[in-house]
Structures are given as C-alpha cells and as structure tokens.
Amino acid sequence: MSRYDFRSIEPRWRQVWDDLNAFAAHEDPKREKYYVLEMFPYPSGRIHMGHVRNYALGDVVARFKAARGYNVLHPMGWDAFGLPAENAAIENKVPPADWTRQNIAAMREQLKGLGLSIDWSREVSTCEPDYYRHEQKMFLDFLKAGLAYRREAWVNWDPVDHTVLANEQVIDGKGWRTGAPVEKRQLSQWFLKITHYADDLLTALDRLERWPDKVRLMQRNWIGKSSGARIRFDIAGREEGVEVFTTRPDTIFGMSFLALSPNHPIAEELAADNPELAAFVAECNAMGTSEETIERAEKRGFAAGLEAVHPFTGARLPVYVANFVLMEYGTGAVFGCPAHDQRDLDFARKYDLSVVPVVAPEGATASDFSVANEAYVGPGRLINSEFLDGLDVETGKQTVIERLEADGRGQGTTTFRLRDWGVSRQRYWGCPIPVIHCDSCGAVPVPESDLPVELPEDPRFDKPGNPLDHHPTWKHVACPKCGEPAERETDTFDTFFESSWYFARYCDPRNEKVGFSQDAAGYWLPVDQYIGGVEHAVLHLLYSRFFTRALRDCGYLDIDEPFTGLFTQGMVCHETFKTPDGKWLFPSEVTRTGEGATRDSDGTPVTVGRSEKMSKSRKNVVDPVDIIETYGADTARLFMLSDSPPDRDLEWTESGVEGAWRYVNRIWRAVMDEADGPLGVARAPRPKTLSAPAEALERQTHKTIDGVTGDLEKFHFNRAIARIRELSNAILDLSGAEEDFIWARRFGWETVARLLNPMTPHLTEELWRHLGGTEPLVGHHWPVADPGLLVEDKVTVAIQVNGKLRATIDLPRDAEKRVAEDAALAEENVRRALDGKAPRKVIVVPNRIVNVVI
Ligand code: ANZ
Ligand code: ZN
C-alpha cells in the first residue's frame, strides 16, 4: 500500500486553492466578518519553528471560521525595517533594500509551502514607500493634533552601534545587540504622546476580555498608575523650592533627607560650579536610564550643601543628589523616609541619617517599635507624627493631603510610569521622519504633497553612525517655508511605528491616497483574533492600542481597540547537545541512544542538556524546511498542533513528528484501501436503521463533531486532534462489509476529513476527493452535530413478540414511539417471527417495552 505522497499531493492542492482564489477576502456587508491575524514576521531570510507554530495556529482559526460561514480576512506581510538589514549591509556589502527583498522572496516561498489560507493579494512590506508614505502622513497629522512633539531627552546610547536604545534594549546595563556598556546622552528627539491616553489605555484593559490575564497585567504594570501627592519643599536660603512626588505622604514625619535626580535642574545648576558634583553627575549619566540598571546599582548620593524645610515641623533636612532618583518619573525629586522604604534605609545607613519609624504594626507602640535593617512597609497605625498619630495609613495619607492642599504646599495627584514614546532612531533602514530643519524656521513638516520622503538607494556603511547623515546629497533641501538651504531630519522612526498600524493597512492594502479607507477599516477592524508571542505583551501591543486611539482622534478610524481577541502561543523548545569539550551541536548532527546520544560524525558521546527555547546560539534548532521536505507540511502542522496546548511550550522531538507521520499514513491507507470500492463509489444514503455497532460509530462521529467544534472555539487544538484520533480508531475497529457498516465508516472518514481540514488541509482535501467529494473541501461548511445523537442517556428496552421476550435494545431515553417501533421491527428475532408479514399491532411502553403483536 502506498504512503501519503505529500510531494505531489500538497503542491497540487495549493494550486487548486490558488486557481479558485480561495482565500481572497472581499468586503461584504451582508456577511459577518472575521479578521484573524498572526504577528507578521521580520524577514530574516528563513522561517523558524516559532513561525510555523504561530502561522499554523492562525491557519486553524482562519480555516475553521471560514468553514463556519464567516467572511474571513487572513493576511500576511513583512515587518521589513530594522537593524539586521544594516548589519548585513556592513558585513556583506549588500544594500539593505536588496537584502530585505531577497529574504522576503525566500520566506514567502517557505511560508507558502505550509499551505496557509492567506490572501496573498494583500501582502504588505513596511520598507516600501507605498507603505511608509502613509505613516509619514499619519505623523504629520499627529503633529497637528499635538500628539507628536520634539524635545531634548536623555537616551540610552549604544557606543558601538551608534544608536539610541529603548530601555528594553538595555540588558544588564549593556546594549542588547552589541553587549557594550550603555551610556546616557541628551539628544533632541521626536516623541509620540502615548501618556495622553495613559488612563484610557489602563481602564480599557478591563474590557479586553478575550486577552490573556497575564498580558493585561503586564500592561497594567507598564502603565503603572500611582496615587499619591506632590509636596513643595522650601530650600533654606533659596528663592525656588523643590517639588517631590510621593505615594506615601503619610510618612512625612519620618523624613530624614530630600534627594534630587542627577539631572534635576537644581543639581545641574550646582554642578556648574562644583567639579566634584559634576563628576558625580557624569558618573550617574554613564549608567544608563533603564529602571533595571538603576535598581541594581549601589545607592549613592552627593551632599548638595542645601537644606530642605519640613512643611509641618520646620526642621531642616539635608539635600542629596542621588543616583536612584529618575528625572523622568514624578518630579525628579523625592523625600526619603528610611524607616519605611528599603532604598531610603540603605541610603540612610550609608550616610548616617536618622531613622524614625512613623508607622507601627497593629499591637506595637511608639515606645517598643523600631526599625533596624529592614524597612517596615506593612500596614499599621501612625506614630511619632503629631496630628497623624493613631490614624491608619490610608487615613493618614488623606489627612496629609488635605493639610497640604489647605496650606497651598501640595496636592493629591496620580502619576504614571508610562513615558511618552521616543520614536527617533539614528539609523538608515527605517522610515524617514518627514521634517526639515531650517535655521530660521525651525522644524518644518514636509508638505503633504512632497510625501513620501524616500530613503536614498545608495547608502554607504563605511563609517560608524547614520548613513543618512553622511549621505552627500540626500539631506540637503530647501526649506519648504522660506526656501533657504535647510536639512532633512536624518533620524528614522522606531520600527514599532510600522507595526502599530499594519493591521489597518491590510484592510485596504493597495490604496494609494490614504493608509486605508474608512469603509474598509470600518468593515474589517478590529482584528477578531490576534496571535503571537508573549514577548510583545507590552510594547507592540501597547503601541498599537495607542496608535488606534491616535488615528481615531485624527479621523482615520472609529474604534478604540485594534485587537478584540489575543492569543499568546508558547515557545518551541528542543533539547540541547554538547560535545565533551563544550561545543554546541545541531540535533541533525546527533543520534539519540536511549538516555544518551552520540555524534554522527565519529560516534563519540554527546552530553544531552535540558530542553530550551530553540535558538541559534545553542544550535538546538530544527529547520522547518527540512521537516517539510521529509514529512510534508501537514505532518509538521499536525505535530505542532497536537503535541501540547497552544499556549504552552512545545517540545519538538523526532519521535513526535514520526508519530504524526504514522497517523497521517494510517488514515491515508484506511481510506485508500476502500476508496475505490465501497467507500468511494456510490454515496449511498444512510440506511433507515443501523445495527448497534454502526449506530455507535454514528453517535461517536456526531459527538466528535460537537467536541471538536467546541475545542476549536476555545483554542484547545490538541484536544480536538485527540478526539479525531479516537474517532479514527473507532472507524478502523468497525470492519465488515454490511451496508450500514460501510455507511458508518464513510460518514466517519468524511467527518475526519472535514474536522481535520483546518489542521492538515492538503491531506484532507485528498481524502475528501477519494471519498467521492466532487468539490474541494475548502468551500465546504463545517459539519453540524445532530443534537439528538449527542444524548448520552440511554435506556434498555425489552422487545417482545406476543408478550414473549425476544431481544433487548438500547434506545435514547424518551425516544419517539416511531423510533422505538422501527428499532424493534429491525431486530433479527422479530423479523424472523414476522416472516415478511406486517405486524397486527405494535405497543410501545416508553423507555421499557415494545410488544409486537402478530
Ligand atoms: C516618600 C516615601 C516614603 C516613598 C516611603 C515610599 C515609601 P511608585 O509606587 O513606583 O509610584 N519616587 C518618586 N519619584 C521618584 C523618582 N523620580 N525616582 C525614584 N524614586 C521616586 O513609587 C513612588 C515612590 O517612589 C515615591 O514615594 C518616592 O518615594 C519614590 F515610606 O516618597 B516615596
Ligand atoms: Zn525656513
């Protein structure tokens, strides 16, 4: 018997789908739409297993929803700007555009080989001017709306890549790509005003019910709303005071110092004529701005030589410049209360400052409670605090705020951790920021009629820094306002800019006038199901939520949220292999031998390490293209989908893939064995009555339809496949040439083909055709379970002939009289007794007896 010949079958079906234009999406207001989207890939040149998993999951949803009758949009494109193209240009001397386009062409073919139900006519590539021109227009609209602005800002500077890094690109104080210690620098940057929407971005999370809780929590923490107070302190001998932000105004009587950020205006002013302080500030600046870095660093301060005046006691307290105070949070200044904040306590011990507890846990008193080396951050009653004594913490906060407000020394307020989004990058391979700098007119927006501002096609990467800046001609233009010589902005957008609106572009990808029409976006958006990695839980997803609001406010859209449903898939993992001298080996270089492994080249033993996320650095990668060449796309998809729940990590194993391959062949052979005979030929209708085994299979088939439908709705794809496998086993168990057996088997296999179609689309098309299907499965509606056959509840009914027991049969509880009658008359013993004659009478006692009177 032949094996499933995926090499000829899979491409043939892809051609059929192509010829049918089966996945082209068209707006149709009469039909309910369903927009399913997977995060688009970066065109590195080769797909990896993470892509296969992501796109296989999305494809199941897309095909399932289409079969359920939805008008499905399932597009694909390329997140095509970014650093790797520039690195490749430097290393291999290929222009970034060529490198990127070649990679896209290669990856498109690899993805197509997976048989995804994608509307390729909507493909977009963010590095092409026909894409990025629209975001330049959006940026100009944001400028007009006050949602984009320019200011000097401290940035993380990677001294090797010569670029600004986002805080998340700084890992342990080092650049994520170069590993070089990150420095702080001040640059004039463009910002998008995401903080304008901070509160809305936070509260709307509650309504994103089809998002994972963990992602919503991460966004909540990222936005980081804190309630507290701003308090203004006088500084002895100075005109100007200092404002601090605190979440613990109740601890004001425990204050022992005031600390300024090294970048606080007063710190800078003092540093101007204090070289020691200037050196301290410079040292702090070299440290990087990420919170993580600051959190880890030893807490250090520099006595500023000033004294802050306590707002209630009038006490004079020392002012420090301290490395742990961020200029970009709150007001850039804090009051320190060592007894109730660990950081302040460490600081106080180091600089020998007083530690006065002002909150005592329930049961303790001012005389017996003290703080040694651990700050007390729990609840309790206020002590040592004059008018606050005896109050609980919450009431204490309120009371202090009321007092401050009455005295005009401060007020209650909330602060967000969320910062405005700095979008300027000093790179070539990004979307040019459409602005021209003129000595007399300042930063002038490029007139809309001059868009797009295209990248020059002849960048040079022979020296560090931004090729746009060194380009001989590109930046030299006339000022659009005064006509004098001026210079283009040479920064490009952060590549998160492109991915913040691509889902809208897919709605109307060939529109040349605007990024997308209101009508198209109105029909397709929001995305009903978005699928991708949890690594994007914060930035990409938050920026997209912000962009949607900003576009709404600029009149592009009328929705708030881009993605109503979000699913974050787990990672694809593999064991790791190492030679005894510590060199990583690819799985393809190793043979597993029970518990251990040996190296193929020389048979030497290999150390097997635990399973970890597939990564090139550990070489524990399996190339999807190899797998597809060996087993076909359907087997790869099936294994990916069946092995573990989609939100969990998946362990890629050779034996797992082989298991999937065996299953594919088992059902293939089972159908082929019979396809030219009884199963394929006539599509006989269901026999009126089925014998018990055939009926049991029919029931199981309906139950499987029901179960799988529910599983697919809930992303329980592995469970769905397990059910289908059980059904396949049951079909294989029902051998025999009886008419009703054949019918039940065919019904079973047809159902297997239809239910498995979203997972293994090529194989199931071919099975369907052999089972006598005349039209491809791709346009078919999803099977519907007969609710009557799902009822578990059965009763055993006695079948009598003239009052004598002749048989017992199982019937659904409360079966209709006619059903019970038919079942009784179909019994062998009854048929014999009747001998071809009609009974005189049939008496049915529901759920108990059928008496056939002859
Ligand atoms: C006094 C105080 C007493 C504080 C106490 C805490 C405990 P979250 O929750 O993150 O908002 N803070 C304020 N601005 C800061 C800045 N720019 N850099 C570093 N730290 C800053 O934390 C707010 C608390 O962090 C504030 O409350 C302030 O210290 C500190 F027993 O003020 B607290
Ligand atoms: Zn000008």
Question: What digits encode the pLDDT tens for the residues 370-394?
Answer: 999 999 999 999 999 999 999 999 9
Cα–ligand 2 centroid distance for 483 (angstroms) = 6
Q: Is the pLDDT of residue 178 over 90?
A: no
Mean pLDDT confidence for 361-377:
92
Nearest residue to 400 (alpha-carbon basis) of 584, 253, 601, 588: 253
Nearest residue (CA) to ligand 1, atom 32:
246
Mean pLDDT confidence for 270-297:
84
Cα–ligand 1 centroid distance for 164 (angstroms) = 27
- At 412, the pLDDT band (50, 70, 90 cuts) reads very high
493 ligand 1 Cβ < 6 A: no
445 ligand 1 Cβ < 6 A: no
329 ligand 1 Cβ < 6 A: yes
The residue to mutate among 226, 247, 263, having the most atoms of ligand 1 within 8 angstroms of its beta carbon, is 247
State the pLDDT at residue 290.
Answer: 62
Mean pLDDT confidence for 727-755:
94
Nearest residue to 31 (alpha-carbon basis) of 2, 62, 68, 60: 68
State the pLDDT at residue 559.
Answer: 97
User: From the CA of 438, which ligand is nearest?
Assistant: 2
State the pLDDT at residue 143.
Answer: 98
- At 396, the pLDDT band (50, 70, 90 cuts) reads very high
CB 72 within 8 A of CB 36: yes
CB 56 within 8 A of CB 640: yes
Mean pLDDT confidence for 521-550:
96
State the pLDDT at residue 169.
Answer: 72
528 ligand 1 Cβ < 6 A: no
* Helical packing angle, 539-553 and 129-144, nearest 10°: 60
256 ligand 1 Cβ < 6 A: no
Q: Is the pLDDT of residue 12 over 70?
A: yes
SS3 730: helix
> pLDDT digit string (tens) for 546-586?
999 999 999 999 999 999 999 999 999 999 999 988 899 99
State the pLDDT at residue 62.
Answer: 98
Q: Is the pLDDT of residue 118 over 70?
A: yes
Nearest residue to 622 (alpha-carbon basis) of 605, 639, 607: 639
Q: Is the pLDDT of residue 398 over 90?
A: yes
Mean pLDDT confidence for 230-245:
96
CB 324 within 8 A of CB 336: no
State the pLDDT at residue 161.
Answer: 78
State the pLDDT at residue 175.
Answer: 86
Q: Is the pLDDT of residue 225 over 80?
A: yes
State the pLDDT at residue 745.
Answer: 94
| Residue 181 to residue 433: CA distance in whole angstroms | 28
Q: Is the pLDDT of residue 352 over 70?
A: yes
| Residue 812 to residue 809: CA distance in whole angstroms | 10
Q: Which two three-digit tokens encode residue 386?
A: 């004059």
Q: Which atom of ligand 1 is nearest to the CA of 329?
A: 17
> Which one is predicted more confidently, 607 or 463?
607
The residue to mutate among 223, 231, 243, 248, having the most atoms of ligand 1 within 8 angstroms of its beta carbon, is 248
State the pLDDT at residue 168.
Answer: 62
Nearest residue (CA) to ligand 1, atom 9:
226
State the pLDDT at residue 810.
Answer: 84
Q: Which two three-digit tokens encode residue 622?
A: 């399996």
- At 183, the pLDDT band (50, 70, 90 cuts) reads confident
Q: Which two three-digit tokens encode residue 814?
A: 């409360």
Q: Which two three-digit tokens encode residue 446?
A: 């490029």
State the pLDDT at residue 1.
Answer: 55
419 ligand 1 Cβ < 6 A: no
> pLDDT digit string (tens) for 59-83?
999 999 999 999 999 999 999 999 8
Give the mean pLDDT of the chain: 93
Name the helix (H) or strand (E) containing 148. strand 148-158
Q: Is the pLDDT of residue 815 over 90?
A: no
| Residue 532 to residue 503: CA distance in whole angstroms | 13
State the pLDDT at residue 729.
Answer: 97
Mean pLDDT confidence for 746-770:
96
Q: Is the pLDDT of residue 89 over 90?
A: no
- At 596, the pLDDT band (50, 70, 90 cuts) reads confident
State the pLDDT at residue 472.
Answer: 94
State the pLDDT at residue 439.
Answer: 97
Cα–ligand 1 centroid distance for 249 (angstroms) = 10
Q: In sequence order, what are the residues at sequence separation of 6 or more whose Cβ sits closer than 8 angstroms to the Cβ of residue 8?
A: none
State the pLDDT at residue 677.
Answer: 73
SS3 619: coil
340 ligand 1 Cβ < 6 A: yes
Nearest residue (CA) to ligand 1, atom 14:
330
State the pLDDT at residue 288.
Answer: 61
Give me the phi and psi of 737, to 5 degrees please. Answer: -100, 10
Mean pLDDT confidence for 467-472:
93
The proportion of the chain whose per-residue pLDDT surpasses 70, expressed as a percent, equals: 98
Mean pLDDT confidence for 763-767:
97
Nearest residue (CA) to ligand 1, atom 33:
246
State the pLDDT at residue 391.
Answer: 97
Q: Which atom of ligand 1 is nearest to the CA of 336?
A: 1
Q: Is the pLDDT of residue 47 over 60?
A: yes
Cα–ligand 2 centroid distance for 482 (angstroms) = 4
The proportion of the chain whose per-residue pLDDT surpasses 90, expressed as a percent, equals: 78
State the pLDDT at residue 294.
Answer: 73
State the pLDDT at residue 166.
Answer: 67
State the pLDDT at residue 641.
Answer: 96
CB 78 within 8 A of CB 104: yes
The residue to mutate among 329, 382, 418, having the most atoms of ligand 1 within 8 angstroms of its beta carbon, is 329
Nearest residue to 563 (alpha-carbon basis) of 49, 58, 115, 30: 58
Q: Which atom of ligand 1 is nearest to the CA of 324?
A: 19
> pLDDT digit string (tens) for 637-686?
999 999 899 999 999 999 999 999 999 999 999 999 887 777 766 677 89
226 ligand 1 Cβ < 6 A: yes
CB 136 within 8 A of CB 451: yes
Task: Please give the full DSSP string across 585-608, using - where no structure is assigned.
Answer: E-GGGEEEETTEEEETTT--EEEE
Nearest residue (CA) to ligand 1, atom 18:
325
State the pLDDT at residue 155.
Answer: 81
Task: Please give the full DSSP string across 789-854, using - where no structure is assigned.
Answer: GG---EEEEEEEETTEEEEEEEEETT--HHHHHHHHHTSHHHHHHHTTSPPSEEEEETTTEEEEE-
The residue to mutate among 252, 331, 334, 413, having the most atoms of ligand 1 within 8 angstroms of its beta carbon, is 334
Which of 92-96, 120-124, 502-506 is predicted with the least confidence, judged by mean pLDDT?
92-96
335 ligand 1 Cβ < 6 A: yes
246 ligand 1 Cβ < 6 A: yes
> pLDDT digit string (tens) for 442-462?
999 999 999 999 999 999 988
Nearest residue (CA) to ligand 1, atom 7:
341
User: From the CA of 375, which ligand is nearest?
Assistant: 1
Residue list, annotated binding site for ATP:
616
393 ligand 1 Cβ < 6 A: no
247 ligand 1 Cβ < 6 A: yes
Cα–ligand 1 centroid distance for 245 (angstroms) = 7
Q: Which two three-digit tokens encode residue 389?
A: 């004594």
